[in-house]
């Protein structure tokens, strides 16, 4: 039996995919540039124009954070370094 990976789903359903199946799919994509180009184009067309945030955590996680944490992050970036540890501890 292979290892399993459970990718997160927006609807909170879980789908288990064996590592071997993921490897097979990755190999398929490596060998089919036209499919990759089509998938990338489809993905990009759903995103619209998005301006990159100047903050690294926003670039990495996008809208992942709850509103309360977004407010703390904004405050973190607007206070002196000496006050940032207290904000970090609030997360």
- Same domain, yes or no, for 45 and 7? yes
Residues 9, 46: one domain?
yes
Mean pLDDT calculated for residue range 17-32: 91
Average pLDDT over residues 17-35: 92
Helices (H), 1-91: 19-30, 33-47, 56-61, 67-78, 81-88
**Longest CA–CA separation in the chain, Å:** 53
In the three-class reduction of DSSP (H, G, I as helix; E, B as strand; rest coil), residue 70 is classed as helix
Look up the domain containing 1 and give its range: 1-50
Share of the chain above pLDDT 90, in %: 22
Q: 24 — phi, psi (to 5°)?
A: -60, -45
Same-domain status, 46 and 2: yes
List, in sequence order, every residue forming a beta bridge with 5; answer none if it has no partner: 17
Domain shared by 30 and 58, yes or no: no
Q: What is the pLDDT of residue 1?
A: 46
Give the total number of structural domains in the chain.
2
Judge whether residue 23 has pLDDT over 80. yes
Residue 7 in this model has a pLDDT that exceeds 60 = no
Task: Report d(CA 18, CA 15) in Å as an integer.
Answer: 10
Q: What are phi and psi of 11, to 5 degrees?
A: -85, 10
**Structure tokens given for 40:** 């990338």
Render pLDDT for 33-67 as a digit per residue (tens, 0 to 9): 999 999 988 887 877 666 667 777 666 666 666 77
Q: Residue 54, Cα to own-chain centre: how many angstroms?
A: 16
């Amino acid at each position: 039996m292979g290892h399993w990976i459970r990718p997160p789903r927006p609807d909170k359903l879980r789908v288990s995919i064996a590592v071997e199946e993921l490897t097979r799919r990755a190999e398929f994509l490596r060998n089919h540039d036209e499919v990759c180009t089509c998938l990338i184009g489809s993905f990009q067309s759903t995103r619209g124009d998005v301006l990159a945030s100047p903050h690294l955590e926003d670039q990495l996680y996008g809208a992942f954070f709850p509103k309360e944490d977004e407010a703390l992050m904004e405050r973190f970036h607007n206070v002196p370094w000496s006050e940032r540890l207290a904000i970090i501890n609030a997360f």
